């Protein structure tokens, strides 16, 4: 029979961490909104369905998010450089973004955001997965 300390380790789900490194901001105005999604539901434009949400100010055109204790699996990250801090993507009359944005794997969609599967990154057990994202304007 296994000792009780081993049994508790076996029953815990395997976990890993994400470090999201955001660079390329055109200014330090406002904040960067970060949403991490476990699946395609709500990705990327319904942050209320994200498993992790945060907002941090920029410093020297960059910011770093640390997300710990995520169950092993695939995740997609969506970012918005919310320069005017109104918590939404501002667009032109043609519907083009006026504020910076980015996705994990630095992928872009043809006409709109990329799919969850193209943006997905794997969080491995006991590892820190680094996700560099360059903001686009």
Q: Report the pLDDT value the prediction gives residue 37, as an integer from 0 to 100.
A: 98
Omega cis (within 30) before 88: no
For the chain, what percentages of helix, strand and coil (3-state, to nearest 5) are there?
A: 15, 45, 45
Helical (H) or strand (E) element with 54: strand 52-57
Say if CB 91 and CB 56 are below 8 A apart.
no
In a domain, 30, yes or no: yes
Q: Report the pLDDT value the prediction gives residue 10, as an integer from 0 to 100.
A: 54
Q: Are strands 128-134 and 15-23 parallel, antiparallel or unpaired?
A: parallel
Domain that holds residue 22: 14-134
Q: Check which CATH number belongs to the domain holding 77 and give it.
A: 2.60.40
Computed over its alpha carbons, how large is the radius of gyration of the chain? 17
pLDDT tens profile 1-43? 555 555 555 556 699 999 999 999 999 999 999 999 999 999 9
pTM given for the model: 0.89
Q: Report the pLDDT value the prediction gives residue 5, as an integer from 0 to 100.
A: 53
Average pLDDT of span 95-116: 94
Q: How many domains does the chain have?
A: 1
Determine the Cα–Cα distance for residues 12 and 98; give it in Å rounded to an integer. 44
Residue with tokens 């300390």: 5
In a domain, 7, yes or no: no
Residue with tokens 């390329």: 24
Average pLDDT of span 102-110: 95
Q: Nearest 5 degrees, angle CA 83-CA 122-CA 97?
A: 25
Q: Report the pLDDT value the prediction gives residue 110, as an integer from 0 to 100.
A: 86
Q: Are strands 73-82 and 121-123 parallel, antiparallel or unpaired?
A: antiparallel
In a domain, 110, yes or no: yes
pLDDT tens profile 42-78? 999 999 999 999 999 999 999 999 999 999 999 999 9
Q: Report the pLDDT value the prediction gives residue 128, as an integer from 0 to 100.
A: 97
Under DSSP, the state recorded for 94 is T
């Amino acid at each position: 029979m296994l000792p009780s300390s081993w049994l508790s380790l076996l029953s815990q789900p395997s976990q890993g961490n994400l470090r999201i490194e955001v660079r390329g901001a055109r200014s330090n105005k406002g904040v960067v909104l970060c949403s991490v999604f476990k699946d395609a539901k709500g990705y990327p434009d319904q942050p209320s369905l994200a498993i992790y949400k945060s907002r941090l100010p920029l410093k020297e055109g960059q910011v770093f998010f640390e997300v710990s204790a995520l169950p092993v699996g695939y995740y997609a990250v969506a970012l918005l450089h919310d320069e005017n801090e109104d918590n939404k993507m501002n667009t032109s009359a043609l519907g083009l973004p006026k504020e910076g944005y980015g996705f994990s794997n630095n992928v872009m969609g043809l006409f709109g955001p990329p799919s969850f599967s193209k943006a997905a990154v794997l969080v491995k057990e006991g590892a820190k997965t680094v996700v560099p994202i360059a903001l686009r304007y």
